[in-house]
Structure 1
Amino acid sequence: MRESAGTDFLTEERRGLYRVWRRHLAADPDLAEDLARLEADPKGLADAFGEDLRFGTGGLRGVMGAGTNRMNRYTVRLATAGLARYLQRQGTAGRGVVVAYDSRRWSDLFAKETALTLAGAGIPVYLFEGIRPTPELSFGVRDLEAAAGVVITASHNPPEYNGYKVYGPDGCQAVPELAEAIIREIAQVEDPFSVPTADEGEATRAGLLRRLGAEMDDRYVARVRGLGLSGGTGTPSAGRAPVTLVYTPLHGTGGKLVPRVLEEMGCRVVCVEEQMRPDPEFSTVASPNPEDPAAFERALALAREIKADAVLATDPDCDRVGVAVADGHGDYEYLSGNQVGVLLLDYILERRKALGAMPDKGVMIKTIVTSEMGRALADANGLETIDVLTGFKFIGEQIGRLEGTGRGFVFGYEESCGYLIGDFVRDKDGVQASAMAAEMIAHHKAAGKTLLDRLEELYRAYGYYRERLVSVTMPGAEGQARMRAMMERWRDAPPLEVAGLAVAEVQDYLVGRVRRADGSEGALDLPRSDVLKFVLDGGHWFCLRPSGTEPKLKIYFGVRGRDDADARELLDRLHRAVMERVEG
């Protein structure tokens, strides 16, 4: 067969790899057709084979299909062989690996390939019998004292994507040190087509492949229910009429457990039926992302019809939850991740104090791009605040570091709708957060208030905080070069003032230093990352961060105003000033 014109874009080394893949894929029922399409698409073929899919700090993520730069059974086997080598080198392989997956196309296939590759290396595997929320994977790793975990998911990425996330023995997503160790082992695996895999039946009979199902669900749900702070009433509504909630899993895994938990709490739960069906195409939404108010369209229509108290939406792997609440005038208002996080922290602090359950040295953990309003609440209530880089794995890592120090974890959150209440999970948990949000809604309803009422009270007490995220897409090699140049310009020639506000300090996480307006410097005790945060007089701030998974520059803004109008004006002014420099 004549080589495709797409190979003209490849180096000789990559052409050789393409030929090897073409021979093997000719008999692959899933990929042969995809390869045939690529051979008629030179640029697509060059992209699919021009490089290897990169194993990052969280694992793999990419478009599904044929090629070295795609998510397929062979790239999954390659990554799993590296993980197996790492566990064997550590001497922990005998503890086994927990494997879970979401509702995306090929997720079940990739999960089985992962399990049989591990079993082929003699490593015991606990494979969930069907789709499960990602936080249950984290719980399962800890509950079974396994050596690691793998979940097949691409969270709320578009339908053509899938991913492979690795978790350590603490149930925390792989931090850079662990990821780099696995990457070194992957590099030693020469050929993904020669990676040994076990026969499913033989692995099961040998005890190397075990299924997880209802029993693990029950243990996890019991721990989630044990987080309740409603005073032992058994329901979140304290004996009053239960709250009415509309819930949607956005075609993902949350439908497996979230309605169950909410109903056991005594809530009236009405689900968006057409979105309860696992659907790898996410056919009823433009994007299955609870950070996007547009994802709530069908749920809000149902909420208006039944006059629900609130709407909860979880993303496909159910580690994030978005919230919209009744505004008291017949409609609903979407709450940002920052707002929900502050409300949850406020409720947890209030109830823990009432129940005498506050640790002596409590700690709240948030990311550096999350609202400073959480810190204000923490300070007022005697909690220490720990800041971490973007990525919930760093929150999970800090929880582990608190153990044995006499300091107690109270709450962790990030602005992108990720929250954690109970540390028996070490990742953001949409099941936990849904349950606590329902309890919080019921608590304030019993007092005659909505969440919007309580949020206004908090603003009056601590200041009117407003935040915004802007993503600037910079595709291709040219876009990457432009992004690097832009970060260098901001780093080498930082402004002295922005929007009429003096720059008080520049936090440069790439070099691990903070530079202050008075000329002094200090160290930043966080992993190195290409992130710049500018803190302005008055505590306002903005942050520049190239995305690790998309060709985007993410720009975060945060301000604190005297009142709502002042905060909005400050935010708009800061936004305009920064974007003029970015786009100039």
Structure 2
Amino acid sequence: MTEYKLWVNDPLIDEDTKRELASLHDEKELEDRFYRDLEFGTGGLRGVIGAGTNRMNRYTVAKATQGLAQFIKQQGERPSAVIAYDSRNQSPEFALEAALVLAGNGVKAYVFESLRPTPELSFAVRHLGAGGGIVITASHNPPEYNGYKVYGRDGGQLVPHDAERVLAEIHTVDTLARIQRMERGEAEAAGLLVWIGAEVDEAFVQAVAGVSLHPDVVRSVSDDFHVLYTPLHGAGNLSVRNVLGTIGFTHVHVVPEQELPDANFSTVKSPNPEEREAFTLALHMAKEVNADIIIGTDPDCDRMGAVVKDDRGQFVVLNGNQSGAIMAYYVLDSLKRQEKLPERGVLIKTIVTSEMGAVIAESYGVSVLNTLTGFKYIGEKMTEFEQSGQYQFLFGYEESYGYLAGNYCRDKDAVLASMLICEAAAYYKSQGKTLYDILQELYRQFGFFQEQLESRTLKGKDGIEKIAAIMDDWRQAPPAAVAGVSVVRVQDYLRGIDGLPAENVLKYTLSDDSWFCLRPSGTEPKIKTYFAVRGSTGEESAERLERLRSAVMSRIDQLP
């Protein structure tokens, strides 16, 4: 209530916000809005839009940007940052607010004049030589959310040690009066607010297209190859189509109801290409356009999902591990056939991603590294290897539909992934095969890997406490066996093991090489549990996966 009254009485808070606060009478609602500041984690901010310290609004954005500006100014002379945003509610307004606070601090803000994919922001930071970047997005969260992701000078999302430095600067902003802000006209006249667009767009498209491995094959089959694409009302539409056209695809169809930006994502329950429901309209349209492959990107276009035909001609949704394994195989096999596979090549994946891609990489003599969950850690390793020369980055991915090849940016890129998966489909079609055929070949060669993710959404203060209780329960009483299979290894990443930063993640490996992992989400009010098995047949894997899942979730759900 103290924080609430401070906002109501602060002359720097606008009248619309004060009216919103005056209309609130539910005690739990007030508590949730003001019991803490919206948490600035390694991914920045993410929360429900609205008035309050624990909400996304112009004031929480301005406060975070004031801290970021102070951090950027410590990095060197002529400080600057790039800002991009997606199709969400208030994204343009939050982007402009961030730009004006940067300008008020003497930090030059390069701002895209309309929505752009998140990976283009990562590229633009590097392309323009900026000291950092901001993306206003909540990825695939529901419409009531927005967020604020922060990038370093290498184009990667901030990793913990830099995020902690930014957070320390944010903590110095103890009142709104400490925020330095310039009006738009003044910022433009001073050259501290610069609008960017076409030149960066073209450079980005060319950089992505430069990763293409078989544009000649794409052109040879393009007359008889049809891509069906849905941007799910987000930022990917133009970039994905431009890149596909650049490498030779001539039949790219877009789901018309989902083509244009829509902050409410009115045609889907969730704008998430990880979920089959997001492809409902595309699946209805697939026969009409004779689609060889269906692809979808999330609102900020950093995650890509693919749907392919199985051996009966029915469309099946690939999960992130399957798509990643196919693309890893396509990249490595193509490089080997072209005699371009480097001696010190490396594939990087996260600790909750399937081992299938790792096994494939090792069969080509490519090294494999694991990082914590979050593409920021993959990007960090890419920059490290670019500077040291220890490895040459070839492919990076995470099970949550994030993929990257090439060195042009430092974040997962659904524009690149769209190009790569469609190119792979065209390449194998030229050999009379589908991506489903390739996946079955990989299973027969490397083992039948199967994975599953179970999430429990627990909102509000009570939810945060419940998630903490679940993690404490498993940490303090680790099981000796699960579903009759003994546990042979427990990895508590909160201890900073395997040379990785400390993070609240628990991973349990069983004697049959299956594993499961518990992890609170860093961006949503969820606890996530990952499961993975490897069997000699698909049926065996499915049975073992269900036994493992059932046993673990039973314990989680029984906790009061």
1:191 partnered with 2:179: no
Question: What is the CA distance between 1:280 and its match in structure 2?
Answer: 0.3
Question: What is the CA distance between 1:170 and its match in structure 2?
Answer: 0.5
Match 2:44 to one of 46, 53, 59: 59
Tell me, in whole angstroms, the C-alpha distance in 2 between the residues paired with 1:95 and 1:355.
43
Tell me, in whole angstroms, the C-alpha distance in 2 between the residues paired with 1:229 and 1:327.
25
Aligned partner of residue 495 in structure 2, secondary structure: coil
2:239 aligned partner, one-letter code:
L
1:416 partnered with 2:390: no
Aligned partner of residue 59 in structure 2, secondary structure: helix
Residue 143 to residue 26, structure 1, CA distance change in 2 (3 Å) = closer
The equivalent of 1:96 in structure 2 is 80
TM-score of the aligned structures, taking structure 1 as reference length? 0.92
Match 1:35 to one of 21, 32, 47: 21
Unmatched runs of 5 consecutive residues or more in structure 1? 1-9, 514-523
1:340 partnered with 2:331: no
Paired positions, count: 556
Report the more deviating stretch, 483-492 or 283-292: 483-492
| Deviations 1:388-419, CA, capped at 9 Å, x for gaps | 11111011011111122341001000000000
| Deviations 1:418-443, CA, capped at 9 Å, x for gaps | 00011211000000100111100000
Question: What is the CA distance between 1:501 and its match in structure 2?
Answer: 1.6
Residue 213 to residue 482, structure 1, CA distance change in 2 (3 Å) = closer
The equivalent of 1:165 in structure 2 is 149
The equivalent of 1:118 in structure 2 is 102
Asked if the contact 1:470–1:555 (Cα under 8 Å) also holds between the matched residues in 2, the reply is yes
Question: What is the CA distance between 1:236 and its match in structure 2?
Answer: 1.8
Tell me, in whole angstroms, the C-alpha distance in 1 between the residues paired with 2:156 and 2:114.
22
The equivalent of 2:242 in structure 1 is 260
Tell me, in whole angstroms, the C-alpha distance in 2 between the residues paired with 1:102 and 1:193.
29
TM-score of the aligned structures, taking structure 2 as reference length? 0.96
1:309 partnered with 2:295: no
Tell me, in whole angstroms, the C-alpha distance in 2 between the residues paired with 1:495 and 1:67.
42
The equivalent of 1:394 in structure 2 is 377
Asked if the contact 1:366–1:413 (Cα under 8 Å) also holds between the matched residues in 2, the reply is yes
Tell me, in whole angstroms, the C-alpha distance in 2 between the residues paired with 1:462 and 1:161.
41
| Deviations 1:292-316, CA, capped at 9 Å, x for gaps | 1110000111112222001100000
Matches within 5 A, 1:266-415: 266-267=248-249, 268-403=251-386, 404-415=388-399
Question: What is the CA distance between 1:54 and its match in structure 2?
Answer: 1.5
The equivalent of 1:7 in structure 2 is none
Aligned partner of residue 494 in structure 2, secondary structure: coil
1:302 aligned partner, one-letter code:
M
Asked if the contact 1:237–1:439 (Cα under 8 Å) also holds between the matched residues in 2, the reply is no
The equivalent of 1:107 in structure 2 is 91
1:358 aligned partner, one-letter code:
L
Matches within 5 A, 1:454-469: 454-469=438-453
Tell me, in whole angstroms, the C-alpha distance in 2 between the residues paired with 1:287 and 1:544.
23
2:72 aligned partner, one-letter code:
L
Tell me, in whole angstroms, the C-alpha distance in 2 between the residues paired with 1:176 and 1:54.
14
Question: What is the CA distance between 1:202 and its match in structure 2?
Answer: 2.1
Question: What is the CA distance between 1:447 and its match in structure 2?
Answer: 0.5
Residue 391 to residue 245, structure 1, CA distance change in 2 (3 Å) = same
1:37 aligned partner, one-letter code:
S
Aligned partner of residue 257 in structure 1, secondary structure: helix
1:97 aligned partner, one-letter code:
A
Tell me, in whole angstroms, the C-alpha distance in 1 between the residues paired with 2:88 and 2:222.
40
Report the more deviating stretch, 197-206 or 114-123: 197-206
2:105 aligned partner, one-letter code:
A
1:72 partnered with 2:57: yes
Aligned partner of residue 90 in structure 1, secondary structure: coil
Residue 553 to residue 283, structure 1, CA distance change in 2 (3 Å) = same
Tell me, in whole angstroms, the C-alpha distance in 2 between the residues paired with 1:43 and 1:575.
34
Aligned partner of residue 238 in structure 1, secondary structure: helix
Question: What is the CA distance between 1:562 and its match in structure 2?
Answer: 0.8
Tell me, in whole angstroms, the C-alpha distance in 2 between the residues paired with 1:293 and 1:193.
47
2:212 aligned partner, one-letter code:
G
Tell me, in whole angstroms, the C-alpha distance in 2 between the residues paired with 1:15 and 1:582.
35
1:547 partnered with 2:521: yes
Tell me, in whole angstroms, the C-alpha distance in 2 between the residues paired with 1:454 and 1:81.
50
Aligned partner of residue 211 in structure 1, secondary structure: strand
Tell me, in whole angstroms, the C-alpha distance in 1 between the residues paired with 2:313 and 2:273.
22
Tell me, in whole angstroms, the C-alpha distance in 1 between the residues paired with 2:141 and 2:496.
31
| Deviations 1:160-194, CA, capped at 9 Å, x for gaps | 11101100000000111111101111111122255
The equivalent of 1:582 in structure 2 is 556
Match 1:206 to one of 190, 207, 219: 190
Asked if the contact 1:242–1:442 (Cα under 8 Å) also holds between the matched residues in 2, the reply is no
Runs of 4+ aligned residues of structure 1 deviating over 6 Å after TM superposition are none
The equivalent of 1:250 in structure 2 is 232
1:525 partnered with 2:503: no
Tell me, in whole angstroms, the C-alpha distance in 1 between the residues paired with 2:459 and 2:133.
32
Tell me, in whole angstroms, the C-alpha distance in 2 between the residues paired with 1:421 and 1:238.
23
Tell me, in whole angstroms, the C-alpha distance in 1 between the residues paired with 2:191 and 2:512.
61
2:9 aligned partner, one-letter code:
V
Tell me, in whole angstroms, the C-alpha distance in 1 between the residues paired with 2:222 and 2:301.
29
2:505 aligned partner, one-letter code:
V
Q: CA RMSD in A?
A: 1.6
Asked if the contact 1:366–1:395 (Cα under 8 Å) also holds between the matched residues in 2, the reply is yes
